[in-house]
Amino acid sequence: MTKRAALENLKPAARILQQAKHAVVFTGAGISTPSGIPDFRTASTGLWMKDDPMQVASLSAFNVHPERFFAWLKPLLSAITATRPNPAHFSIARLENAGVIKAVITQSIDLLHQQAGTKTVLPLHGSVDKLVCVKCHARFLTIQYLEDFLQRDVIPRCPTCSRYLKPDIVLFEEMLPMEIWNQAYQQVEQSDVILVSGSSLEVYPASSLPQFAVQNGAMLIINTLSTTPMDSEADLLLPFDSAEILPLLTGMVLGE
């Protein structure tokens, strides 16, 4: 698809969103790469191009080789802490504020949607603002341990049972949080439009939500730089940087 043809898709995409009764946005880590946070699967820069996820980001890695897990986590957490929402995040927040979209379902763990002002955010894979003890299940705010960890490599421990605290994110070998999953499923079940941005749609079960929406009759708009397994099912493709295309799309939707 040429750039001109892709940009032409903005007009029908805007009309689809304007006419939607229950539009939902589904985002992945790619929406945050313009903010400086690496995604997981992009060739040469993705985190899984550098490390085997089962060796560094699985529950087994956390339990058996915690030093390996925290060494992997540190640069990612440092990047997340230092970054800010980009125009894509703010555009989505504007669409929600205008009543165009009802919810954001995200695979991102960085809280940038919330920082941008989006109110209904369903983080399927958790978020980095909390820590949990896998033994006694006590929860703590990450900010309490952040400086010691990033500046002095002090790995956070539970003050009650002294076990290492795990970031409240979904690691490989873990189930998705059921309450968030159920809320996301309900949003998708009601949707008549789903806008996917920054997701490869390769991570199951999260990727099953857009699939379910389409099977349930929803229209599908995909905004990713790479191809996805659902491209052939999309009503429109917007293969551009989300931080560039979503502000344009938002302006059209809001009649600016």
Q: How would you list the strands of the sheet with 126-133, edge to edge?
A: 139-141, 126-133, 165-169
The partner residues of 132 in beta bridges, in order of sequence, read 139, 166
Which residue intervals of the chain are DSSP H helices?
3-8, 10-19, 47-50, 53-56, 59-64, 66-82, 87-97, 112-116, 143-152, 178-190, 208-215, 242-253
Kindly name the residue from 65, 89, 113, 125 that is annotated as catalytic.
125
Is 125 a catalytic site residue?
Answer: yes
Tokens 């968030």 correspond to: 180
Hey, is 92 helix, strand or coil? helix
Characterize the bridge pairing of strands 139-141 and 126-133: antiparallel
The answer to whether the beta carbons of residues 156 and 149 sit under 8 Å apart is yes
Active site residues: 125
